[in-house]
Amino acid sequence: MDIFTIDRVGGQGDGVAQTPAGPVFAALTLPGETVRGQVVEGRLEQIDIVTASPDRIAPVSPQYGDCGGCSLQHWAQGPYLDWKRDQVRLALERERIDTDVEPTAAGPPGSRRRVALHARRSPDGRVVLGFKARRSWRLVEVMACPIADPRIVAAIPGLKEVAAAFFEHPKSAPTLHVTWTLAGLDVDVTGVERRSGGGLSADGQIRAVQAAYRADLARLSLAGDTLIMARQPTVAFGPATVALPAGGFLQATPQAEAAMVSRAVAAVKGARKVADLFCGAGTFTFPLATVAPVVAADASKAGIDALKAAVGSAKGMKAITAEARDLFRRPMTPYDLKGCDAIVFDPPRAGAIDQTAQIADTKAAVVVGVSCNPQTFARDARVLIDAGFRLETVTPIDQFLWSSHVELVGVFKR
């Protein structure tokens, strides 16, 4: 066993010890700690903490250390949030971008309204729901989860019954995508073998539907196809109530969503017309429409249909026009965005380099970039800056608590 001093926490949340042979990564360690372990392919295994950091705190999850979901639960809030801020700052520095990075907007425990629970059968035939273990395909059963909405945790016994109906084929590995909505739990199941198994049999569907009723699910769907809907799952976006499409995207916590939306709305105040690109079902669209008319676009036809259907559900909004359009294959051009003096875009993790290039050629005075990946955000930001924009502020958002994941909102002005 060798002894190492942890110099920093790396981008994936592991402690890093710098050695003459290169970096050694040590999970669940903190800067300044002295640790003992065995190096295996650049990673420290069988870690024993010799000297703990004063910033180390007691973890609150019974699955801590085994579950792969929370890699930073042992870190005090102040330095943990500062680290997330530094991840954004470092990503911007790599693109030679110097701007004000605000303190990280913190998220509270017990706020995740959307979780993915993997289902497996144990050797004794029992259905187990949980998360993947750290760096493994093994499943860690969820007994309690301090990041999830308590109403989701309370529903786990009923969700196990639902999952039991989806094991007909030996290749099936069901994942329950569980969302808490205004109507209750919305569950979309993926990972059910279809090619060789033909999907779920009629008997399997009946068992699933019966279990869904017993669990009081608002809706149960299989890869976006509704099996049963007792109540239409809805969410509130600004003044609108939107019927969430089965399997549709929703920000993981309402607090992070509110932090992002409030900054976007504040940035476009005074605009005459706003574009909302990668709009989904209208997370930003409806709040933006309280400021100015909005042109919205997203590749999801189901999301756009839900957005359009909700337009009449709210008062006090300006006009909204929405289009189902793949913005990777067919970005909105300056002609499409004519008259938009403010643009909001919230792309997937891959960023939106082609769409950003089109935004750069518009006459928009304000652009708001929302991102779940600081690296691709920095790349896209460089395109806008080279076109004459200035990145005025960036706010990191801690939506995925105690993970290495960080989201952000950046405001650009001409």
Report which of 16, 152, 129, 142 is spatially closest to residue 67, judged by C-alpha positions: 142
Which residues are the active-site residues? 372
Question: What is the CATH architecture of 2-56?
Answer: Beta Barrel (2.40)
Q: Which residues, other chains included, contact 391 with Cβ-Cβ below 8 Å and sequence gap of 6+? A: 92, 97, 99, 381, 384, 385, 410, 411, 412
What is the CATH class of 81-103+253-413? Answer: alpha beta
Tell me the pTM. Answer: 0.94
Kindly list the domain boundaries of the chain, sorted by start residue: 2-56, 81-103+253-413, 114-234
Low-confidence ranges of the chain (pLDDT < 50): none
Instruction: Say if CB 75 and CB 15 are below 8 A apart.
Output: no
> For residue 392, what are its two tokens?
């005025």
- For position 196, what pLDDT does the model report? 67
Quote the CA–CA distance of 326 and 392 in Å, as a whole number.
29
Tell me whether domains 2-56 and 114-234 share a fold. yes
Quote the CA–CA distance of 63 and 347 in Å, as a whole number.
32
Q: What are 118-172's pLDDT values in tens digits?
A: 999 988 989 999 999 888 888 999 989 999 999 999 999 999 999 999 998 888 8
Tell me which fold the domain 114-234 belongs to: OB fold (Dihydrolipoamide Acetyltransferase, E2P) (2.40.50)
- What is the b/e burial string over 181-204, where b = at least 16 CB atoms within 10 angstroms of the residue's CB? bebbbbbbbbbbbeeeeebbeeeb
Instruction: Say if CB 16 and CB 9 are below 8 A apart.
Output: yes
Radius of gyration of the chain (CA): 23
